[in-house]
């Protein structure tokens, strides 16, 4: 019995164990499924790309989506493209600070009016251009100590809105763009790590000595489109930038290049679209690494000999848009360009004068240049290499009096300031007669006559300072066919010494400079003194007062005659009305009373014109008799009537439906009319 029941018990036990194992297996599967579901749920929240964006690994593209706030981002995002949206400052969530893998953020062309907060501290490149940011606070920038590139172009940042030492906590900042803002000066407290600084298209007019102090790593400086002039740039402003490789001063008001430019590493110098009138010799000395020089869009006529003597690496010379005078003064440049050959590219070196070489390139003037003989100012021929250097006759004009600059004595043969040298308003030499005459407080007219024809004249002038001090020389070349020149932009109430040297043509038809052993005799000088500014203005005011008072009597007489004629005409018209000339229908013409109306008065008044009868088509008139005007001659008896327009009480016009609304542009008495015809018209029958 026991043996028979043992197998049955074993079978039941095995079945129970199988069921238990099956239940445990199902339970474990359900737990695993639940865990996977929970993990997938949270993974969808934190790891998936936002539905409004497109993701490519760690690049998140949410640009041009019309977003007003930043959506939830996956933690792996490193580059955020959020430009061209409507994101404002409240649209930046605080959770953005926890995305420590973000390296680059593009937030340009949005609606930010403050520097954005809650950005990740790991950001290295930040684009915020084309917003309306007004301030740069130090506390906000301190949250991004790893920042290397900051773009703030096209905002509303002013100099005073940049907090003091705003970039002190960004020791890695290498690039700073502040173009097209409202800056009036160079921002202070710039980090020493800065390598590229763009401040173009602002309102910067002054650069003091300490503006770029400590920026020894700066390599690129762009100051285009500002209000810079030579008088407001300190002498050693740019000399501190020893590692500068690119300097751009386009679209300013410079008359000469700034002095003491950094020459050791400079490779690109852009001076186009200024007011350059001459390039002082020595302004490009030491620039052995200069590769590109742009002098386009200025007022240069010549270049001094030896200006390019150190430009061994120059590969591009852009000089278009200048009135070049291609005489023997540019023979040295012609030889220099021929010696360089194909190693340099020149653009725009086209002659503007003389007329026989106009619109020709300088390099093509072979026969003309062969006629020139290169002679030093001292009279000795140049025995050096092609393009040798003659002694300088031009010194750099003072950069300005704003920063207490010292003038340098010129090397030209002007009268010695230490001697009692008497000059008058005219000077006569062997071959030249010079005359000067002040015209105003800032201009002097220079006229001359030469005994022999000259290819050109060298005109120089300098202002005498206080005591016997001499300031620097300003010099220009004048064509030989001219006999007068106007000096402008001079200092009022100042004495000027004006000298001229003719570049005579010898009998061998070779141009020689009248500056050899007989230079003292060829040099002709005169002296002139500009008037005081206040006296000139008073004279101009007195002259203008006299000119304006001349026609006053004529104006009063004409006005009196016009008023008299108007009164006579008015009396005549009144008398005509009284005697009835204008009441007669024979004198009533339509063209004189309503020239601007081209439609029929009968139709306008609600009546229909007929050959036999004047028929009233509606209850819109009231006719009352009135005394007839006295006729000029006996006529048949007639009756005159005044036609009064009667308007409906609701303000609508006559002969219109009840549902039609009058024109709201006119009053109710003229709602049915189009041209503003008077309410009472006289009609004679």
Residue 16 has pLDDT above 70, yes or no: yes
- Are 510 and 466 a contacting pair, CB within 8 Å? no
Separation between Cα atoms, residue 341 and residue 364, nearest integer Å: 13
Residues in the chain: 685
Asked if residue 127 has pLDDT above 80, the reply is yes
Contact (CB, 8 A) for 464 and 494: yes
Q: What percent of the chain has pLDDT over 90?
A: 38
For the record, the structure tokens of 336 come out as: 């220099």
- Residues 250 and 272 sit within 8 Å (Cβ to Cβ): yes
Model confidence at 32, in pLDDT bands (50, 70, 90)? low
For residue 224, pLDDT beyond 60 = yes
User: What's the mean per-residue pLDDT of the chain?
Assistant: 75
Contact predicate 169/138, CB 8 Å: yes
455 to 361, 452, 658: CA distances (angstroms): 19, 10, 94
Q: Is a pLDDT exceeding 90 seen at residue 648? A: no
Res. 39 pLDDT band, cuts 50 70 90? very low
| Beta-sheet strands, E only, within 278-407 | 292-294, 316-318, 324-325, 345-347, 351-353
Question: Parallel, antiparallel, or unpaired: how do β-strands 345-347 and 246-248 relate?
Answer: unpaired
Q: Is 335 helix (H, G, I), strand (E, B) or coil?
A: helix
Q: What is the pLDDT of residues 598-640, one digit of tens each?
A: 444 444 444 444 444 444 444 444 554 555 444 444 444 444 5
Q: Which residues contact 399 (CB under 8 A, 6 or more apart)?
A: 230, 231, 233, 234, 235, 258, 259, 405
Residue with tokens 């792996």: 76
Q: Answer whether 225's CB lies under 8 Å from 247's CB.
A: no
Strands (E), 245-361: 246-248, 268-270, 292-294, 316-318, 324-325, 345-347, 351-353
Cα separations (Å) of 147 from 127, 225, 391, 596? 11, 28, 52, 75
230 contacts 205 by C-beta, under 8 angstroms: no
Q: How far is CA 61 from the centre of its chain?
A: 35
| Of 164, 177, 87, nearest in space to 132 by CA | 87
What local confidence, expressed as pLDDT, does residue 473 receive? 75
The DSSP letter of residue 438 is E
Choose between 86 and 535: higher pLDDT.
86
In this predicted model, which residue has the larger pLDDT, 37 or 144?
144
Residue 100 CA: distances (Å) to CA of 77, 116, 656:
9, 17, 78
339 compared with 519, residue with greater pLDDT: 339
Rounded Cα distance between 375 and 550, Å, is 60
* pLDDT tens string 509-551: 344 444 444 445 577 888 888 887 765 555 555 555 554 455 6
Choice between 594 and 471, residue whose per-residue pLDDT is larger: 471
Which of 289, 237, 226, 291 lies closest to 259 in space, CA to CA? 237
Cα(298)–Cα(14) distance, rounded to whole angstroms? 107
The verdict on whether omega for the bond into residue 354 sits within 30 degrees of 0, i.e. cis, is: yes
% of the chain exceeding 70 in pLDDT: 65
Given a cut of 70, whether residue 94 has pLDDT beyond it is yes
- The confidence score (pLDDT) of residue 539 equals 53
The C-alpha atoms of residue 360 and residue 479 are separated, in whole angstroms, by 17
Q: Cβ–Cβ contacts within 10 Å for residue 666, how many?
A: 14
For residue 685, give the nearest of 617, 616, 596 by alpha carbon. Answer: 616
pLDDT, tens only, 553-589: 678 878 888 888 888 888 888 777 776 544 444 444 4
CB 190, CB 166: distance < 8 Å: no
User: Which token pair is 39?
Assistant: 């993990």
Question: What pLDDT band is residue 385 in, cutting at 50, 70 and 90?
Answer: very low
SS3 155: coil
Residue 323, pLDDT above cutoff 90 = yes
Which tens digit of pLDDT belongs to each residue from 58-85?
899 999 999 999 998 888 899 999 999 9
Among 239-253, 314-328, 360-374, the minimum mean pLDDT is found in 360-374
484-487 sheet: strands from edge to edge? 426-428, 432-440, 443-450, 484-487
**pLDDT tens across 366-376, in order?**
888 887 754 33
Handedness of CA 82, 83, 84, 85 (dihedral sign): positive
pLDDT score, position 635: 46
Contact 497, 419 (CB under 8 A): no
CA distance 616 to 638: 19
Rounded Cα–Cα distance for residues 616 and 537 (Å): 77
C-alpha dist (Å) from residue 418 to 163, 415, 422, 469, 528:
53, 9, 12, 9, 19
218 contacts 212 by C-beta, under 8 angstroms: yes
Question: Does residue 200 carry a pLDDT above 90?
Answer: yes
Determine the pLDDT at residue 179: 96
Cα–Cα nearest to 244, from 216, 286, 285, 224 = 216
More confident residue, 417 or 107: 107
Grade residue 25 by pLDDT with cuts at 50, 70 and 90: confident
pTM: 0.53
Peptide bond into 202 cis (omega under 30): no
Token code pair at residue 211:
């503006």
| Residue-level pLDDT at 412 | 45
Measured CA to CA, the distance from residue 134 to residue 153 in angstroms comes to 12
pLDDT for 471 beyond 90: no
Alpha helical stretches, state H, 182-267: none
pLDDT at 35: 53
pLDDT band at 680 (very low <50, low <70, confident <90, very high): very low
Query: Structural domains in the chain?
Result: 49-203 (3.80.10.10), 223-370 (3.80.10.10), 432-504 (2.60.40.10)
β-bridge partners, 487: 444
With beta carbons less than 8 A apart as the criterion, state whether 535 and 491 touch: no
At residue 8 the predicted structure's pLDDT band, cuts being 50, 70 and 90, is: low
How does DSSP assign 53-114, residue by residue? Answer: SEEETTEEE-TTS--SS-----TT--EEE--SS---GGGS-GGGGG-TT--EEE--SS---S
Question: Residue 594: what pLDDT?
Answer: 39
- Supply the Cα-derived Rg of the chain in whole angstroms: 46
The token pair at 279 is 């390039």
Least confident residue range of 138-147, 271-280, 282-291, 390-399:
390-399
Chain centre to alpha carbon of residue 184: 15
Instruction: Give the C-alpha distances (Å, rounded to integers) separating 377 from 452, 455, 511.
Output: 20, 16, 13
d(CA 48, CA 276): 61
Closest CA to 457 of 434, 473, 426, 487: 434
How many whole angstroms separate alpha carbon 343 and alpha carbon 317? 11
């Amino acid at each position: 019995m026991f043996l028979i029941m043992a197998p049955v018990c074993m079978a039941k036990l095995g079945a129970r164990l199988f069921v238990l194992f099956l239940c445990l297996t199902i339970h474990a599967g359900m737990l695993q499924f639940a865990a996977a579901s929970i993990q997938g749920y949270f993974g969808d929240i934190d790891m998936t790309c936002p539905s409004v964006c497109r993701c490519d690994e760690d690049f998140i593209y949410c640009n041009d989506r019309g977003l007003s706030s930043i959506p939830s981002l996956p933690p792996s995002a490193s580059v955020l493209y959020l430009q061209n949206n409507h994101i404002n400052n409240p649209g930046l969530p605080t959770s953005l600070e926890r995305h420590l893998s973000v390296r680059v953020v593009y937030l340009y062309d949005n609606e930010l009016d403050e520097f954005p907060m809650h950005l990740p501290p790991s950001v290295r490149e930040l684009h915020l251009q084309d917003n309306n940011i007004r301030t740069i606070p130090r506390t906000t920038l301190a949250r991004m100590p790893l920042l290397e590139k900051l773009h703030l172009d096209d905002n509303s940042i002013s100099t005073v809105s940049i907090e003091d030492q705003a970039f002190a906590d960004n020791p890695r900042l290498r690039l700073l763009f502040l173009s097209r803002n409202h800056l009036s000066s160079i921002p202070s407290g710039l980090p020493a790590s800065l390598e590229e600084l763009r401040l173009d298209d602002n309102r910067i007019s002054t650069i003091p000595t300490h503006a770029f102090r400590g920026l020894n790593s700066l390599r690129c400086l762009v100051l285009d489109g500002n209000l810079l002039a030579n008088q407001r740039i300190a002498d050693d402003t740019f000399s501190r930038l020893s590692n500068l490789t690119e300097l751009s001063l386009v679209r300013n008001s410079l008359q000469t290049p700034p002095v003491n430019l950094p020459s050791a590493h400079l490779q690109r110098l852009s001076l186009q679209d200024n007011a350059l009138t001459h390039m002082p010799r020595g302004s490009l000395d030491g620039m052995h690494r200069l590769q590109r020089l742009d002098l386009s869009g200025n007022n240069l006529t010549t270049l001094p000999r030896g200006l390019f003597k150190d430009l061994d690496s120059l590969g591009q010379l852009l000089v278009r848009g200048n009135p070049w005078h291609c005489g023997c003064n540019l023979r040295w440049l012609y030889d220099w360009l021929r010696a360089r050959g194909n190693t340099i590219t020149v653009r725009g070196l086209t002659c503007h004068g003389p007329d026989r070489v106009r619109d020709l390139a300088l390099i093509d003037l072979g026969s003309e240049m062969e006629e020139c003989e290169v002679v030093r100012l001292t009279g000795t021929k140049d025995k050096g290499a092609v393009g040798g250097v003659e002694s300088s006759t031009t010194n750099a004009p003072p950069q300005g009096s704003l920063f207490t600059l010292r003038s340098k004595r010129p090397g030209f043969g002007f009268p010695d300031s230490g001697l009692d040298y008497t000059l008058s308003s005219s000077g006569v030499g062997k071959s030249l007669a010079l005359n000067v005459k002040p015209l105003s407080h800032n201009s002097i007219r220079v006229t001359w006559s030469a005994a022999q024809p000259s290819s050109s004249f060298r005109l120089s002038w300098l202002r005498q300072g206080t005591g016997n001090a001499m300031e620097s020389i300003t010099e220009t070349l004048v064509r030989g066919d001219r006999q007068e020149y106007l000096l402008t932009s001079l200092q009022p109430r100042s004495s000027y010494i004006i000298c001229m040297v003719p570049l005579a043509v010898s009998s061998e038809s070779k141009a020689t400079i009248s500056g050899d052993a007989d230079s003292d005799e060829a040099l002709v000088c005169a002296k002139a003194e500009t008037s005081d500014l206040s006296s000139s203005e008073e004279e101009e005011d007195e002259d203008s007062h006299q000119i304006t008072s001349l026609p006053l009597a004529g104006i009063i007489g004409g006005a009196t005659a016009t008023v008299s004629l108007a009164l006579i005409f008015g009396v005549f018209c009144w008398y005509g009305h009284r005697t009835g000339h204008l009441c007669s229908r024979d004198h009533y013409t339509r063209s004189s009373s309503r020239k601007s109306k081209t439609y029929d008065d009968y139709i306008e008044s609600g009546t229909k014109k007929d050959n036999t009868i004047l028929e009233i088509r509606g209850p819109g008139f009231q006719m009352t008799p009135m005394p007839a005007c006295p006729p000029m001659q006996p006529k048949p008896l007639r009756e005159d009537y005044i036609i009064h327009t009667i308007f409906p009480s609701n303000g609508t016009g006559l002969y219109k439906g009840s549902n039609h609304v009058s024109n709201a542009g006119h009053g109710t008495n003229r709602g049915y009319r189009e041209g503003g015809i008077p309410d009472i018209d006289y009609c004679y029958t």
